[in-house]
Amino acid sequence: GAVVSQHPSWVICKSGTSVKIECRSLDFQATTMFWYRQFPKQSLMLMATSNEGSKATYEQGVEKDKFLINHASLTLSTLTVTSAHPEDSSFYICSASLGPQETQYFGPGTRLLVL
Amino acid sequence: ILNVEQSPQSLHVQEGDSTNFTCSFPSSNFYALHWYRWETAKSPEALFVMTLNGDEKKKGRISATLNTKEGYSYLYIKGSQPEDSATYLCAFLARDNYGQNFVFGPGTRLSVLP
């Protein structure tokens, strides 16, 4: 299957700092990328859907000024958690696909801990 | 808010047993149903994307069926092997005039004992 990488895999930061997570599709051009968050013992929660070259569509309850998403190319999307706080500590995972309803190829995830 | 449920929450079976689990989703505005398999410390891996009522898909020992009218999908594993141990997630994609929603179920955690 297609390969999607995520960087970093782990990040620990102080409260108030911003953290950028990169999601790359390595061997295909992803028209659509998705960003998910997983709370402990819960399922994946879709945060936003981004299409290359356009603004991300955020799910209800997700602050777009808090979680900045940029999908500047067909192989790269970034999620920036701005002014992170301990409640933002979570597992963030991205996926890439050829279209919003197509198979999604997932990255390995990024575990964020905000102290 | 769309509600996608999966049952059972977890399952332990012996190697060689066949097993199945369920994904339940709203029957309105159906667009697609995805199945993914997520092994610990790995990325979720796509199994099936199903779009038509009555769809049946097969990949090796794993197969899935879809009933969009009643809002459920079954995933079957024939002759379970220890390497099948993983969390199996379904994801429901709804689409209407206002846009689309993609919601994952909570998953079924399968453990296959040798």
What is the rounded average pLDDT of the residues B72-95? Answer: 95
- pLDDT tier at A1, thresholds 50, 70, 90: low
Cα–Cα distance measured from residue A68 to residue B46, given in angstroms and rounded to the nearest whole number: 27
Residue entry with tokens 């079957």: B76
Side-chain-facing half-sphere of B17: CA atoms under 13 Å:
14
Cα–Cα distance measured from residue A45 to residue B103, given in angstroms and rounded to the nearest whole number: 7
Contact of B72 with B4, CB cutoff 8 Å = no
* Per-residue pLDDT reduced to its tens digit, B48-74: 999 999 999 999 999 999 999 999 999
Residue entry with tokens 């979680």: A67
| Nearest alpha carbon to residue B31 among A44, A59, A97, A101 | A101
| Nearest alpha carbon to residue B23 among B85, B67, B84, B56 | B67
* Per-residue pLDDT reduced to its tens digit, B88-100: 999 999 887 777 7
Interchain proximity B102–A46, CB inside 8 Å: yes
What is the rounded average pLDDT of the residues B109-114? Answer: 96
CA distances from A96 to A4, A5, B56, B65 (A): 7, 10, 25, 25
Nearest CA in chain A to B38: A106
The values of phi and psi at residue A88, to 5°, are -85, -10
Query: From the CA of B2, how many Å to the nearest CA of chain A?
Result: 12
- pLDDT tier at A72, thresholds 50, 70, 90: confident
Interface test with A, best of B31, B102, B103, B109 (most A CBs within 10 A): B102
